[in-house]
Amino acid sequence: MSTLLETVTWLCLIVNSISIVMLLYRAIKGPSNPDRAVAIDTIGINLISMTGILAIYLNTSMFNDIILLIGILTFIATVAIAKFLERGVIIDRSRD
């Protein structure tokens, strides 16, 4: 692997990490729960990118599943949290 590519992946990883730290600040600080939910969702996106960069860095295709999975899960999780915040329940009971 060329030095340039390695340096770039490194830089990307570090930038991503800083991004996660900043998101963490938002997740902890709040001030409201929707703020936190968005922060968590964005952390998920950052995980996707970090996993992708790591796959390049480690020269493997084994992590591609993880990338897809994080995508789905963060979506589900965010929807669930959003629904909870809005209505208090995640799964509605049947209305009859």
Partner 1 sequence: MSIMLFFSILAPFIAACLVPFLFRYKRTIHTGWLVLPIPILLFLYFLLQIPNISGGNNIHLIINWIPSIGMNLSFYLDGLSLLFTLLITGIGTLVVLYSIYYLNKKEKLHNFYVFLMIFMGAMLGVVLSDNVFVLYLFWEFTSLSSFLLIGYWYHRERSRYGAFKSMIITVFGGLSMLGGLILLTIMTDTTSIREMIESKESVINSPYFTGTLLLILLGAFTKSAQFPFHIWLPDAMEAPTPVSAFLHSATMVKAGIYLSARLFLLFGGSDLFFILVTGFGLLTLCWGSYMAVRQTDLKAILAYSTISQLGMIMAMIGFGTEVAIFAAIFHIFNHATFKGSLFMIAGIVDHESGTRDIRKLGGLMTLMPISATLALFGTFSMAGVPLPFLNGFLSKEMFFKTATQISPTAPLVDQLFIIIPVLAVLGSIFTFVYSMYFFFQTFMGKSKETLEIKPHEAPIGMLVSPIVLVTFIVVIGLLPNLINEPILAPATAAVFGTVPEEHIAFWHGEINTPLLMSLAVVVLGTLLYLTRKKWSHVYRLLPGVLSANKAYDAVYEGHLRLSRKTTNMYMTGSLRHYVLYILLFLVASGGITLVVTDGFAFSTSDVAPISWPEIMVGIVMAIAAIATVFMQNRIAAILVLGVVGYGLSLLFVFFRAPDLALTQLIVETVTVALFLLCFYHLPKLDTKKQSTGTKTVNILISASVGILVTLVAIASHSSKRFETIAHYFIDESHHLGGGDNVVNVILVDMRGLDTMFEITVLGLAALGIYAMIRLRKEEEID
Of 25, 19, 28, 81, nearest to 48 by C-alpha is 19
What residues from 54 to 83 belong to the interface with partner 1 (CB under 8 A)?
Answer: 54, 58, 60, 62-63, 65-66, 69-70, 73, 76-77, 80-81
Q: Using alpha carbons, list the distances in angstroms from residue 85 to 51, 53, 58, 79.
A: 29, 33, 39, 10
> Which C-beta is closer to partner 1: that of 8 or that of 44?
44
d(CA 50, CA 24): 16
Contact status: 14 vs partner 1 (CB under 8 A): yes
Residue 43 contacts partner 1 per CB under 8 A: yes
Q: How far is CA 66 from CA 11, 48, 60, in A?
A: 22, 8, 12
Residues that bind partner 1 (CB under 8 A): 10, 13-14, 16-18, 20-21, 24, 27-28, 30, 33, 36-37, 40, 43-44, 47, 50-51, 54, 58, 60, 62-63, 65-66, 69-70, 73, 76-77, 80-81, 84-85, 88-91
